[in-house]
Amino acid sequence: MAPSRGPLPLARTLHVTLDGHKGPVNVARYAKGSAKYVLTGGQDRTVRLWNASLGTEIKAFNAHGYEVLSIAVAHDNAKFVSSGGDRSVFVWDVTSGTTTRRLPGHMGKINAVEFNEDASIVASGSFDSTVRLWDLRAQSRAPIQILEEARDAIQTLHIESTSITTGSVDGHVRTYDLRKGELRSDYIGHPVTAVVPTQDSQTFLVTTLDSHIRLIDATNGKMLNDFIGHTNSSYRCRACFGLGEATVVCGDENGMVWAWDLLDAKLLQPNPPPKVHSKVITWTEHHPSDAGEMITSSADGTCKIWRLNT
Amino acid sequence: MTSRLKRKLGDIGVDTSSARANENFCLIGTPLPPLEKSRDTGEFVPLWKQEVRDEKGRRRLHGAFTGGFSAGYFNTVGSKEGWTPQTFVSSRSDRAKKKAAKPEDFMDEEDIQDIRDSRKIVDTTDEMDLTSGKQIESQDDADADPLTAALQSAMLPPSKDSVGARILKKMGWRVGQGIGPRISLKQRRLQDLQASTGSAFSVSTSEIVPAEDAEEASKHTYAPRDTPVLVVERKDNSHGLGYRPGMSLNDSLGVKGSGGSSTGPNISSGFGLGALNDADEDDLDVYDGSSANARNRLAYDASDDPERDRTFLSGSKSKLRSAPVPIPPTGTFRDGTHVLPGFVLSGKPVMEDRWYPLPDIPPGWKPDPKRVWSQGQNQEQYPASNKENVKQENTAAIPHGKWKTSGLSADDRGSILGETPLPSAPRSVFDYMSQKDRDRLKNIAANLHSTTGLPATASASDQTSPAPAPAPAATTPRIPRTDPQIARAALTGFKPFPSDPVKQARYTAYLQSQADTSSTIMLEPLPHQSIPEFNSEMEEYAQSAVVFKPVSGAMAGRFTSAAVVEHGPKVIEGLHTPAFEEQSSSNEEKKATEEKELSPKENAARMGMYGHLTRETVPWQPARLLCKRFGVKDPNPEPKTEDPTQSSGPDFQDLSSSSVFDPSVPSGTSAADYGIVSINNDNTSASTSGPRDLANVGLGDEDDTQGRDTLTYERPSVDVFKAIFASDDEDSSDEERGDEGDKGPNDIETSGPSSETTMSTKISPLSSIPVVVDDQPVDPNTFKPTFVRREARTANADSDKQEKKERKEKKKKEKRKAIVSFMDDEAGDTLNVVVEKPKKKRKKDKEKDREKDKETGGLKSKGEKEVEKEVKSKRRNDVDENEDDMWVEKPAPPAVTVASDVEMADTSAALSVGSEVPRGRKRAIDFL
């Protein structure tokens, strides 16, 4: 598809609704690879695996004793890692549905977990304002390193090939550059709830609780664009890029999914968007390869998969 | 049975169907033995066959000698499962359930049964309490009159007859009657009176009025009146005896005379007196005022006559004993009790409560509790009686526990009551202390007591003791002292008054004045501030300084201060009185919060000016394992172990090489290490001539001499190898000469700041530094490219040279072989010790070469020859002719000579050799 003028319209046709969770759904992640499957984690202490195209629940992973707040899938889809109120990171084997490891150490609930590229490292960011880096290859259960620079709860983190990016409630986005051996902290000024870097790691998208989404230049910390219009002041509503990083998509606290053009920060039509969830949208994730697919999870207990109407 | 037989039998008259007719006498098979041995229990059994069994049939005595008790499992320490020890079961989670072992746990059922039986006997005593129910009721209404109590006890049967009650009943006692021999009517009347008045003393025979039917009634004897059992209440408070919380003075004096009249004489204490014991005079409460009565205010007890019957239940002994002793008139209380010897009865009445009418409230008065609270300490403003009234109202409601914990000490009460302090006030400990100690204590006290004034040590003790007079210090402004260290720390610490800028400013000023004793900052009371207010404010600051000074040391690392400072609304104490002030203060607050955010970072973020203002970059050290997992090279490899004792060349070389070339050096460096290192760098770079610190080696270009060392160490390696590994077939004459040759350049180099005097000492990198410095500082940037180039060059040159020099070199090396080989083992291909020495050797060699060249002539260029001549003329006279034929032309040596030589002539020679190369650069090259 040639780069026609204007970005692709957002997938706004409801394809299927995943409503197996009994409480709010906190996180919904696509699997890696062709991303046919979706993993969701909710307040009902379960992680559920869904077939995204059919909308059927494949498996429920029960081991958490508290809510599930974050999920990350390994590159080979063989395992995933989840965390939540248990203060332990759970590493799961997908096929057997059991935890292969539980990594205790955090003092508070864990808001974010992430694998590195080859799933040898798990990073977990917690309410206790630390990020712990766990080695999955070694048998040691102690973290390799603890990043304690944040002064408030870590809300999000992201691992790139040679850097770790964290977002904290203290209003900072911290990039730990392993190659340079330096820590770059960008002060955003408002509690950061989500940081999503672009593929080229040149920019990252920062969602803050002042109803702003900012596109920050990773190299010098300058703000490239500011996306406003939605409502986000108290919940973690993760914004993400649309396909090809041409758009920015975010669900807000009123249950609406907003989309902006990345370049001129203009709201895409319809404006205002229709209300598709009855409660706050907690997670928005675009399909990694399929142009017209997107998933939203909401506190109303459902996840919805959206597709373009053809 | 056949039919015929049946018929026959039937004819006889036998019922064929009966059991007897059908009885079968055949036995088939062997009968089983009977199920039970029908043994005679009384049968004699020999002693050795006798078994002792308990009632459950268990063998109790067994064993080899059939003696002893059964213990454990069949008298073993094993168990039914054998000797296998039980698997460990953690009782961690069951700790709460675990109880302390009781004796019962170790008893078998027989023992437990025994205990149970014995307990049964004990338990029966509980049922002996005949009047328990009644006592409970009488406790409920203390002032129920004795008649109703008696009626009640008579009408209500005891809940259960105990053994004693049953015996008594069999002896003729009935419920409601007293125990004892029957008495006459008169005695009974007396007893009634006694019971109603409650005192044994009080009854006089004259008061017993004979009834009309006395003659009829007196013919009979009567059962004595029931004696109410005195139950001593449990005393669970610390009040005085007989005092109830909330009792007024009048009550406690027994003016009303209420209560206790039905319970007989009060016993002074509950100890040692059984319920049925008689109360002796000794046991009677001396201070008992409840029996105060007009009738017994008599000098002589009228009821005391010897012919009285002796069947009184209580008080009989006292009557007998109370002799008619004349009592001194002053020594009697109103109730006739003797005054204790040594005491005099007071004629003045006890002070009574007086209630004062409320003062007239002025019409314009508004309540201002703040004023009351702030001046609560100054008691002189408030009449003591007012306080007392307030207190009294409270005391009626305060239960005992609260009363105890309310913290009102005797001194407090005294001050409330307006008492003058005791004249013999104890001398304060402070009086015996030195001034220094007092100051220290004062500071401590400042932390503990917020309200007490501190400065005068003597007054510190006065504060706690009741001070009826107003404190004179309150009228003068007073600034408490704070330790300068604390003040300094507090200045950097938390700001406690973020919402009140004025206060914060004053606080800061106070701290500054305290931190710096020589400072001229003086705090004055604000215009609207009274002196006491100012004083209390200063004290508050002093406390705040102590409280808010940053945590020091190890503790500090455990806390992080919140990123967001709460700007809570300022709470105004007291009732709400809207005033003009409030508006302005809120404005000020707003301004203050705006000012608070003046940090450039926040400002920029608020303005949306993200960029360098909002970005902070600090060095960060990822863990080594993390780097490995991410496939990233360690960004700041850890500088090797820094041992200041080893400042010799080899270590230096080792360091530089490792830090440059070896990425796999174990590194756990953190940013802190980095910082330390950088500091070291600064130090060493500042003093180039001083001894080098190993820490800075290889960490950049702050040291302009270090590259040289790195470059030089490569060259001799081939020589060294050859020296070590090639066979030595050279004679000793070469060796000796080599030795001399070594000494030549060494002597020259002694001109450097730190140089070696003997060959055996390792040559430190310093020895090469001055040589370089002498000529010209070399730009370190030029080293690297030239290094690579020269490497190849030198390798070629060396290979040429070495072929010729080989044997000679070998001998020299042999001399120091031990050192060389040792270092070789350690550092692989880079021969650290040798690095410097060979260089010199090299120089020496070259010099020798030159000498040789000179002799051979022709092959060398003119300039080189000149240089060599100079060198030779200056240093060498002992030229070995033997080796001349071995040496051919070499490109480098003259320059090297120049580099190592101190003489200016050498430099000129060098110029002539490599004139096309810039000077500094050439130096570097040549040095290779």
pLDDT tens figures, B721-747: 777 777 655 544 444 444 444 444 444
pLDDT confidence of residue B912: 44
Residues B781, B784, B786, CA angle at the centre, nearest 5°?
105
Q: Which of B608, B612, B632 sits opposite A220 (nearest CB)?
A: B612
Residues B276, B279, B281, CA angle at the centre, nearest 5°?
170
**B375 Cβ contact partners less than 8 Å away, ≥ 6 residues apart:** B381, B532
Q: Which of A133, A176, A222 sits opposite B620 (nearest CB)?
A: A176
Say how far apart CA A172 and CA B842 lie, in whole Å.
Answer: 60
Are A151 and B562 inside 8 Å of each other by CB?
Answer: yes
Q: In this predicted model, which residue has the larger pLDDT, B747 or B337?
A: B337
Q: Which of A178, A184, A226 sits opposite B632 (nearest CB)?
A: A178
Are A188 and B626 inside 8 Å of each other by CB?
Answer: no
Q: Which of B610, B621, B634 sits opposite A186 (nearest CB)?
A: B610
pLDDT tens column, B649-693: 343 434 343 333 334 434 444 433 333 333 344 443 333 444 445
Q: Are B622 and B635 in contact (CB under 8 A)?
A: yes
In 3D space, the residue among B361, B356, B422 whose CA is nearest the CA of residue B388 turns out to be: B356
pLDDT tens column, B601-652: 777 777 777 877 888 888 888 888 888 888 888 877 765 444 444 434 343 4
Q: Which residues of A touch B562 (CB under 8 A)?
A: 151-152
Query: Environment class of residue B628 by beta-carbon count within 10 Å: exposed (0-12), middle (13-18) or buried (19+)?
Result: middle
Q: Which of B606, B614, B634 sits opposite A221 (nearest CB)?
A: B614
Task: Kindly state the tokens that stand for B479.
Answer: 């600034």
Distance of CA B685 to the CA centre of its chain: 47
pLDDT confidence of residue B160: 65
Which stretch of DSSP H or E encloses residue B875?
helix B862-875
pLDDT confidence of residue A11: 81
Q: In this predicted model, which residue has the larger pLDDT, B646 or B69?
A: B69
Burial track B212-246 (b if 16+ CB lie within 10 A, e otherwise): eeeeebeeeebbbbbbbebbeeeeeeeeeebeeee
Q: Is residue B633 classed as helix, strand or coil in its secondary structure?
A: coil
Are A187 and B605 inside 8 Å of each other by CB?
Answer: yes
Does residue A27 carry a pLDDT above 80? Answer: yes
Q: Does B598 touch chain A (CB under 8 A)?
A: no
Q: Are A147 and A164 in contact (CB under 8 A)?
A: yes
Q: Does B123 touch chain A (CB under 8 A)?
A: no
pLDDT confidence of residue B916: 45
pLDDT tens column, B865-919: 454 455 455 554 444 444 444 444 445 444 444 444 444 444 444 444 444 444 4
A222, closest residue in chain B (CA to CA)? B611
Q: Which of A138, A162, A226 sits opposite B630 (nearest CB)?
A: A162
Are B635 and A181 inside 8 Å of each other by CB?
Answer: yes
Are B611 and A221 inside 8 Å of each other by CB?
Answer: yes
Mean pLDDT of A267-276: 83
Measure Cα distances from A106 to A42, A84, A157, A170, B241 in Å. 20, 11, 15, 18, 60
Confidence class for position A80, pLDDT limits 50, 70, 90? very high
Q: Which residues of B touch A184 (CB under 8 A)?
A: 615-617
pLDDT confidence of residue B641: 44
Complex ipTM, two decimals? Answer: 0.87
Are B616 and A185 inside 8 Å of each other by CB?
Answer: yes
Lowest mean pLDDT segment, chosen from A218-232, B536-550, B841-855: B841-855
Does residue B827 carry a pLDDT above 90? Answer: no
Lowest mean pLDDT segment, chosen from A240-254, B300-314, B425-439: B300-314
Mutate to test the interface with A, among B615, B621, B633, B677 (most CBs of A within 10 A): B615
Q: What does the mean pLDDT of chain B come to?
A: 60
B670, closest residue in chain A (CA to CA)? A181
pLDDT confidence of residue B761: 40
**Alpha carbon of A152: minimum distance to chain B alpha carbons (Å):** 7
Are B602 and A186 inside 8 Å of each other by CB?
Answer: no
pLDDT confidence of residue B521: 67
Please indicate, yes or no, whether the overall pTM of this predicted structure exceeds 0.80. no
Q: What are phi and psi of B679, to 5 degrees?
A: -65, -45
Q: Does B645 touch chain A (CB under 8 A)?
A: no
Q: Which of B602, B612, B618 sits opposite A189 (nearest CB)?
A: B602
Q: Does B829 touch chain A (CB under 8 A)?
A: no
Q: Which of B564, B614, B626 sits opposite A121 (nearest CB)?
A: B626
Mutate to test the interface with B, among A120, A183, A192 (most CBs of B within 10 A): A183
DSSP readout, B192-246?
Answer: HHHHHH--SSS--GGG----TTHHHHTTS-BPPBPPPPP-PPP--S-SPTT--TT
Are B616 and A184 inside 8 Å of each other by CB?
Answer: yes
Q: Which residues of B touch A220 (CB under 8 A)?
A: 611-612, 615
Q: What share of chain B is helix, strand, coil (3-state, %, to 5)?
A: 50, 0, 50
In 3D space, the residue among B228, B232, B253 whose CA is nearest the CA of residue B243 turns out to be: B253
pLDDT confidence of residue A83: 92
pLDDT tens column, B366-383: 877 777 777 655 554 444
Q: What are phi and psi of A276, to 5 degrees?
A: -110, -15
Residues of A with CB under 8 A from a CB of B: 116, 120-121, 129, 133, 135, 137-138, 144-145, 151-152, 161-162, 169-171, 176-189, 214, 216, 220-223, 226
Say how far apart CA A106 and CA B172 lie, in whole Å.
Answer: 83
Q: Which residues of A touch B564 (CB under 8 A)?
A: 152, 170
Are B630 and A144 inside 8 Å of each other by CB?
Answer: no
A163, closest residue in chain B (CA to CA)? B630
Are A181 and B619 inside 8 Å of each other by CB?
Answer: yes
Say how far apart CA B140 and CA B406 lie, in whole Å.
Answer: 29
Q: Which of B608, B617, B623 sits opposite A182 (nearest CB)?
A: B617
B669, closest residue in chain A (CA to CA)? A181
CB-defined contacts A:B, below 8 A: 106
Confidence class for position B438, pLDDT limits 50, 70, 90? confident
pLDDT confidence of residue B590: 58
Q: In this predicted model, which residue has the larger pLDDT, A76 or A7?
A: A76
Are A220 and B608 inside 8 Å of each other by CB?
Answer: no
Q: Which residues of B touch A135 (CB under 8 A)?
A: 625, 629
In 10 A of CB B450, how many CB atoms? 11
Q: Which residues of A touch B615 (CB under 8 A)?
A: 184-187, 220-221
A221, closest residue in chain B (CA to CA)? B611
B624, closest residue in chain A (CA to CA)? A144
Q: Does B614 touch chain A (CB under 8 A)?
A: yes
In 10 A of CB B455, how many CB atoms? 18
pLDDT confidence of residue B576: 64
Q: In this predicted model, which residue has the larger pLDDT, A58 or B137?
A: A58
Say how far apart CA B487 and CA B498 lie, in whole Å.
Answer: 18
Does residue A70 carry a pLDDT above 70? Answer: yes
> For residue A64, which amino acid is it?
H
Q: In this predicted model, which residue has the larger pLDDT, B689 or B193?
A: B193
A128, closest residue in chain B (CA to CA)? B560
Say how far apart CA A259 and CA A261 lie, in whole Å.
Answer: 7
Does residue B247 carry a pLDDT above 80? Answer: no
Measure Cα distances from B141 to B144, B151, B323, B719 in Å. 6, 15, 38, 118
Are B560 and A171 inside 8 Å of each other by CB?
Answer: no
Helices (H) and strands (E) in chain B, counts: 35, 1
